[in-house]
Amino acid sequence: MKEFTWKSRRLGFMDHQYGEAAKRWKDETHDDRCGFVNLYNRMVQALETLPDEPDLYLRNALDEKLTRDWKTLDEIMMRFDGR
């Protein structure tokens, strides 16, 4: 049985929730979809640099930041995809 880490759970969520849109919109350059792709990529890159189980203090801070950024991604998806 595979054990999931803090990092792998967040990366998996990112891919499941936003990965398809990021792939579809990767060539958009003139509206918020470009911002979506850039934010998505920055978030994934930042997560990939972390250890599998960051310090609890860092996890809490990162979870707060991720939650705010996920809200931004959700708002952009709602505007362009209606979901």
Q: How far apart are CA 26 and CA 31, in angstroms?
A: 12
User: Domain residues for 55?
Assistant: 32-83
pLDDT band with cut points at 50, 70 and 90 for residue 28: confident
Q: Which amino acid is at 12?
A: G
Strands of 7-74, DSSP E = none
The yes-or-no verdict on residue 36 having pLDDT over 80 is: yes
Q: Is 71 part of any domain?
A: yes
Give Cα 47 distance to the centre of its chain.
9
Question: Residue 24: its pLDDT value, please?
Answer: 94
Q: Is 54 part of any domain?
A: yes
Share of the chain above pLDDT 90, in %: 89
Q: Is 65 part of any domain?
A: yes
Residues 53, 9 contacting (CB under 8 angstroms) = no
Q: How far apart are CA 42 and CA 69, in angstroms?
A: 11
Q: Is 49 part of any domain?
A: yes
Q: Is 8 part of any domain?
A: no
> What is the value of pTM for the model shown?
0.91
pLDDT band with cut points at 50, 70 and 90 for residue 25: very high
